[in-house]
Amino acid sequence: MDRNILFFKTGVSMYDAIVIGSGVSGASVARELSRYKLKIAVLEKGDDVCSGTSKGNSAVVHSGYDARYGTNKAHYNVIGNAMYDNLCHELSVPFVRNGTITYALSEEEVEKLQELTENAKKNKVPGVKLLNRKELEEVGGDFGAEVCGGLWAPTGGVVCPYNLVIAMCENAAENGVEFFLNTEVNHIEKEAIGYSIKTNRGEFISKIVFNCAGTHADEMNNFVSSEKLKIIPRKGNYLILDRKLSGKVKNTIFQAPKKLPGGGHTKGMVMVPTVDGTIILGCDSTDVDDKDDVSTTREGIEAVYQYFSENWKNFPVSREIPEFPKKMIISSYAGLRAHSVTDDFIIGEVKDAEGFFNMAGIESPGLTAAPAIAAELVSEVSKKYIFEINPAFNPLRKIPKQFRDMNDEERIKALERDKNYGKIICRCEEVTKAEILQAINSIIPAKSVNAIKMRTRAGMGRCQGGYCGPEIVSIISEETGIPITEITLSGEDSFIVPYETCIPGEI
């Protein structure tokens, strides 16, 4: 039965636990909660899960040398990193420990790396080493002539962040968690039986609330607590390079960290070989006002472009491709760091709001740390409230192998099962109709073009949906019965083809 209908009939919905937000924080919490026999809901204002920062970041599973010793960031970063192999295995999500290198161009920068090496030791990050030029070459290839050394962190990895978050949400849903999309929390009130959560789609009541609202987590906290939080959205812009370069970059490579004028520091520019074969280049760091505005900025894009034009020669890939390959840029995007003025993750029960748990200020290394934070937080909460174990909990999410990753034998077999594997919809990323249909009919159905893109990569390649866009629109329409003119890019009124052409003679 459609959950939304059920909800509208009963008016108010009662839950044991409600999670606000379905980024990596909310998804991790929801999945952890589904280990217990509880009635759980996730409220997400976007038209799909993972509508916030978790889909626009560097995709790096940080080793933990960078986060300052003694902070929550450092603690959960290292534990989170160690969880990734098993987590991604359970969820059938690609994860690669490709190792992270931070390179230095001057003695001054080497000193900075020396500090990080010591910090890494205190954080108990395995295997971190400061390498001289020659050692660096053995590990990471031939860096440019000006590079004098580098910090090697073998446990650094890469993951596709939205792939991971969608997988976590799907697994949570399979284990009974209900997802309410297009549902924005506007107000929260403490009541006798728990919290009353007011949304654009009615009221929800829950004894326990997890605040995982990303850049909006301060507002959620401030509804219920006198201890006010402040989150500053800090924007970073990225460029994406074509999958044609797949395999040409091995490690994730950072420049030496830079101090920020506004306080704190950023890890600086980074080159990331993604699990999908593209290369991400980013990012700058600029404080902004709008907490949802992920539009790219000219200044930001130019900063990234300029940095990589000038510094391309420092990266080992420049031996094979001497110039920054501008023609390989296929897209750009921006993400918003949820920077807390306290400069650390804010985790745990709010002092003056019993049953309200924060997971706020989750900026970098939040992607890495969130699974660890959620595991610890939910485990504590389960003890406090004496949750009953859900014996049916299944941590495994099985998905069919993607056509793109199959060999010829596997492809022949897949086609025997389902002839839709024979219809390639996205030629750049080799996505078939079978995979599009799986996404539309999955447990958290993908009904917009972007939701399908996030699950299948259709439209993410070099032509950016030029070929597959119209095909996908018509498949969604055929499969769901939604008229073509009402199919959206990403929910609400983001209609792709709002009008029909006129009938001859009409004008």
Ligand X SMILES: Cc1cc2nc3c(=O)[nH]c(=O)nc-3n(C[C@H](O)[C@H](O)[C@H](O)COP(=O)(O)OP(=O)(O)OC[C@H]3O[C@@H](n4cnc5c(N)ncnc54)[C@H](O)[C@@H]3O)c2cc1C
Name the segment binding other proteins (CB under 8 A); options: 99-107, 275-283, 350-358, 427-435: 427-435
496 binds other proteins (CB under 8 A): yes
12 binds other proteins (CB under 8 A): no
DSSP output for 313-344? GGSGGGGTS-S--GGGEEEEEEEEEEEETTSS
By beta-carbon proximity to ligand X, the closer residue of 365 and 459 is: 365
23 binds ligand X (CB under 6 A): yes
177: helix, coil or strand? Answer: coil
322 binds other proteins (CB under 8 A): no
Measured from the Cβ of residue 140, the count of other Cβ atoms closer than 10 Å reads: 21
Q: Which of 31, 35, 112, 216 binds ligand X (CB under 6 A)?
A: 216
Phi, psi dihedral angles at 310 (to 5 degrees):
-75, -35
Site string for other proteins, 274-303 (x = CB under 8 A): ------------------xxxxxxx-xx--
Q: What is the DSSP letter of 400?
A: P
Work out what residue 86 binds among ligand X, other proteins, none; the CB cut-off runs from 5 to 8 Å by kind: none
By beta-carbon proximity to other proteins, the closer residue of 373 and 496 is: 496
20 binds ligand X (CB under 6 A): yes
305 binds other proteins (CB under 8 A): yes
For residues 230 and 500, give the distance between their C-alpha atoms in angstroms, rounded to a whole number. 47
Instruction: Give, as ranges, the residues between 364 and 423 that touch other proteins (CB under 8 A).
Output: 408, 411-412, 415-416, 419-423
Q: What is the DSSP letter of 454?
A: H
For residues 379 and 372, give the distance between their C-alpha atoms in angstroms, rounded to a whole number. 11
For residues 209 and 53, give the distance between their C-alpha atoms in angstroms, rounded to a whole number. 21
Work out what residue 239 binds among other proteins, ligand X, none; the CB cut-off runs from 5 to 8 Å by kind: other proteins
29: helix, coil or strand? Answer: helix
For residues 318 and 67, give the distance between their C-alpha atoms in angstroms, rounded to a whole number. 30
DSSP output for 114-161? HHHHHHHHHHT-TT-EEEEHHHHHHHH----TT--EEEEETT-EEE-H
- Cβ at position 469, least distance to ligand X in Å: 15
335 binds ligand X (CB under 6 A): yes
- Has 62 been annotated as catalytic? yes
Instruction: Indicate the angle between helix axes 449-456 and 161-174, nearest 10 degrees.
Output: 100
377, amino acid identity: L
- Cβ at position 73, least distance to other proteins in Å: 30
Residue of 62, 75, 216, 339 with catalytic role: 62
Work out what residue 311 binds among other proteins, ligand X, none; the CB cut-off runs from 5 to 8 Å by kind: none
Work out what residue 323 binds among ligand X, other proteins, none; the CB cut-off runs from 5 to 8 Å by kind: none
For residues 403 and 400, give the distance between their C-alpha atoms in angstroms, rounded to a whole number. 9
- Cβ at position 82, least distance to ligand X in Å: 14
Work out what residue 463 binds among ligand X, other proteins, none; the CB cut-off runs from 5 to 8 Å by kind: other proteins
Instruction: Give, as ranges, the residues between 221 and 280 that touch other proteins (CB under 8 A).
Output: 239-240, 244
H or E, element range at 220: helix 217-224
Instruction: Give, as ranges, the residues between 398 and 457 that touch ligand X (CB under 6 A).
Output: none
Work out what residue 185 binds among other proteins, ligand X, none; the CB cut-off runs from 5 to 8 Å by kind: ligand X
Q: Which of 15, 18, 19, 22 binds ligand X (CB under 6 A)?
A: 22
What's the maximum distance between 2 C-alpha atoms anywhere in the chain? 77
- Cβ at position 273, least distance to other proteins in Å: 19
End-to-end CA distance of the chain: 45
Q: What is the DSSP letter of 498?
A: -
By beta-carbon proximity to other proteins, the closer residue of 34 and 488 is: 488
H or E, element range at 236: strand 231-241
337 binds ligand X (CB under 6 A): yes
Indicate the Cα dihedral angle 74, 80, 85, 87, nearest 10°: -170
For residues 50 and 283, give the distance between their C-alpha atoms in angstroms, rounded to a whole number. 20
- Cβ at position 101, least distance to ligand X in Å: 14
Site string for ligand X, 57-96 (x = CB under 6 A): xxxx-x----------------------------------
Measured from the Cβ of residue 71, the count of other Cβ atoms closer than 10 Å reads: 15
76: helix, coil or strand? Answer: helix
472 binds other proteins (CB under 8 A): no
Question: CB within 8 A of 430, min separation 6: which ones?
Answer: 403, 404, 424
Range 435-460 burial, b when 16+ CB lie within 10 A, else e: bbbbbbeeebebbbbbbbbbbbbbbb
Site string for ligand X, 277-306 (x = CB under 6 A): ------x-----------------------
489 binds other proteins (CB under 8 A): yes
Q: Which residues does the annotation mark as catalytic? A: 62
> Which residue ranges make up the site for other proteins (CB under 8 A)?
239-240, 244, 292-298, 300-301, 305, 327, 329-333, 408, 411-412, 415-416, 419-424, 427-428, 430, 433, 462-467, 469-470, 474, 484-485, 488-502, 506-507
> Which residue ranges make up the site for ligand X (CB under 6 A)?
20-26, 43-46, 51-54, 57-60, 62, 184-185, 212-216, 236, 283, 335-337, 362-368
